[in-house]
Structure 1
Amino acid sequence: MKFTLSEEQRDFAQALRDALKRSASWETLLALGVHEVESAPDLVVAFLELGRAAVPGPIVESFAVLREPRSTLAWPPHVPYVVDNADQVYAIVDDTKHRASIVEERTSVDPSRRLFTYDIGETVGPIDAEAFERGVLACSAQLVGLGRALIDRSRDYALQRSQFGKPIGSFQAVKHQLADAHVALELAEPLVFGAAVTMSRQDVSAARIAAGKAAYQAMRTALQVHGAIGYTAEFELSRWLLKVRALVTAWGTESWHRERLMATLCG
């Protein structure tokens, strides 16, 4: 299925991309109204760009799930720790929102995605029925955006880096790896938009599976193309690599989403 963005959506995506190139900050997101996005397709448009820019912080939890810019949450078992700290911290248990207090910071694969243990406090009330699906959907879009950024950067590096007197991008093995990763992302993105239209459990899980696999393939390809320098924490590429590593198991692992998808189809 082919999805065509409206002129307004294209303008929103371009405005986000341009602004985030200058500053991938919380203030930038608020100024562009990311916290006011209502529809699921618009949410996907936004999170594709947030992933492309590797925006730090609890963006899924704040902007997609809670829709409160200065809030964050934990939602065990799929989001077992509070992601970052904020003015308001919540824990979701049995689809009920509770206030929570930060206890201790834990080690995170992604330094820009801080994790904390927490204590549960008073009950606030039920969380809306689509909140979890919005979290999964936003994470899926973010993964596709991260994957696209990794492939774009790898392509540029392959055209600049020379070996045996030629750019490594001219070697067929490198071309094939980049092309395969690009195709995987091209196949995943329509599934994410399709899930945004239906917001059904099976479509959201299918999109999450495809997005996670495509982003992971892009990450592996980026490491192959960049070679040893891609493994260094000081190299800028690590911003995208580590974020993919952290998010491929966030908001439900691939195996959990496969089980949910099968249960939905066969139930």
Structure 2
Amino acid sequence: MKFDLDQEQRDFAASIDAALGAADVPGAVRAWSAGNTEPGKRVWSQLAELGVTALAVPEEFDGIGAHPVDLVLAIEALGRWCVPGPVVESLAVAPVLLAGAPDAAERLAGLAAGELIATAALPPHAPRAVDAHAADLVLLAENSQAAIAQIGSEHRSVDPSRRVFGVTAAGDSWEADTSRAYEVGALATAAQLVGAGQAMLNTAVDYAKQRTQFGRVIGGYQAIKHKLADVHIALELARPLVYGAALSLADGSADTARDVSAAKVAASDAALAAAHSALQTHGAIGFTSECDLSLWLLRVQALRPAWGDATTHRRRVLEAI
């Protein structure tokens, strides 16, 4: 099967890149890490104006009801720019969980308009709610049930701009498609990882063209070229797996779980390779908080185990063979 994005999808991704490129997203990430979520929420307001927050919300609730491919396309772009906040949980997972809620119309319309930011926990593979402190709506879902949740204790996170909290149910529950919510969460995380990996590769390539060693730019050395080329190949292999899984999800394919897990594993591995190569290309400066690369390094380390770690997803692929 041949698959490619159409021009409308490419233009949509370009509009997201243009908006986020004009915003100070790294500054918003650093502010979010320090406890100031306002710059980050202004970025979310821009995304709402572009329709990003409405993508997964059905049309009858003032959303767009977009195809899953459009959703992962947008989330990949957000991963490229390291947008802070519960991206996967609010844009992809919450609309699925809220579908059967008593007040679904009001909640979903709020998500679509960007008036609400939601987060969610789905034990056992997503046991904690990301950025619950900054969310307007916190959900807890398990065993085909979902409920509004209250925030519990905060847990340590490798990424200070991605805080995680324990949550407990705080009200009556409703029936929810928790299986689909999990697949959507894992797939959206894979898309975010591909975007982050691409950003680190782009940063490393640009830096390799500027940094000099032994009288020449380091990008001229084969060792650097080959390392970055390997990352490019890994990302080019992971990206179609993500889009293929989105097609499986849309079609209700029996292979959806397998395809989502394959995408998550490939995206995690590619993003890790990008992180290693970008850091080696930058040298010690890449570790420093002043260097924007460090924001993606931490984000990737936090996202790789999110919504199911590599062992979990490799096992699902193996069981499907």
TM-score class, shorter: over 0.9
**Alignment check: 8 A CA contact 1:51 1:144 kept:** yes
1:169 match: 219
Q: CA deviation at 1:71?
A: 1.4
Correspondence list, 1:93-104, <5 A = 93-104=142-153
1:62 match: 90
Q: Which amino acid aligns with 2:241?
A: L
For residues 146 and 88 of structure 2, the distance between their equivalents in structure 1, rounded to whole angstroms, comes to: 16
Unaligned runs of 5+ in 2: 26-42, 56-65, 96-110, 250-255
1:35 match: 53
> Which one of 204, 208, 213 corresponds to residue 158 of structure 1?
208
Q: CA deviation at 1:127?
A: 2.1
1:238 aligns with 2:294: yes
Percent sequence identity over aligned pairs: 49
Q: Structure 2 length normalisation: TM-score?
A: 0.80
> Which one of 50, 58, 63 corresponds to residue 78 of structure 2?
50
1:222 aligns with 2:278: yes
Unaligned runs of 5+ in 1: none
> Which one of 69, 73, 78 corresponds to residue 125 of structure 2?
78
Deviations 1:104-144 (A, max 9, x none): 22221112111112222223312235221111111111100
Q: CA deviation at 1:60?
A: 0.1
For residues 296 and 219 of structure 2, the distance between their equivalents in structure 1, rounded to whole angstroms, comes to: 21
1:15 aligns with 2:65: no
Q: Structure 1 length normalisation: TM-score?
A: 0.95
Correspondence list, 1:93-172, <5 A = 93-128=142-177, 129-172=179-222
Deviations 1:156-183 (A, max 9, x none): 0011000001001101101111000110
> Which one of 273, 293, 306 corresponds to residue 250 of structure 1?
306
Q: CA deviation at 1:2?
A: 4.4
1:198 match: 248
Q: CA RMSD in A?
A: 1.3
Equivalenced residues, count = 265
Q: CA deviation at 1:215?
A: 0.5
For residues 143 and 246 of structure 1, the distance between their equivalents in structure 2, rounded to whole angstroms, comes to: 10
Q: Name the SS of the counterpart of 1:182 in structure 2.
A: helix
For residues 119 and 188 of structure 2, the distance between their equivalents in structure 1, rounded to whole angstroms, comes to: 15
**Alignment check: 8 A CA contact 1:2 1:190 kept:** no
Q: Name the SS of the counterpart of 2:152 in structure 1.
A: strand
1:6 match: 6
Q: Which amino acid aligns with 2:144?
A: D
For residues 30 and 259 of structure 1, the distance between their equivalents in structure 2, rounded to whole angstroms, comes to: 37
Q: Name the SS of the counterpart of 1:105 in structure 2.
A: strand
Between 1:217-226 and 1:102-111, the stretch displaced more is 102-111
For residues 201 and 105 of structure 1, the distance between their equivalents in structure 2, rounded to whole angstroms, comes to: 30
Q: Which amino acid aligns with 2:211?
A: R
2:28 match: none
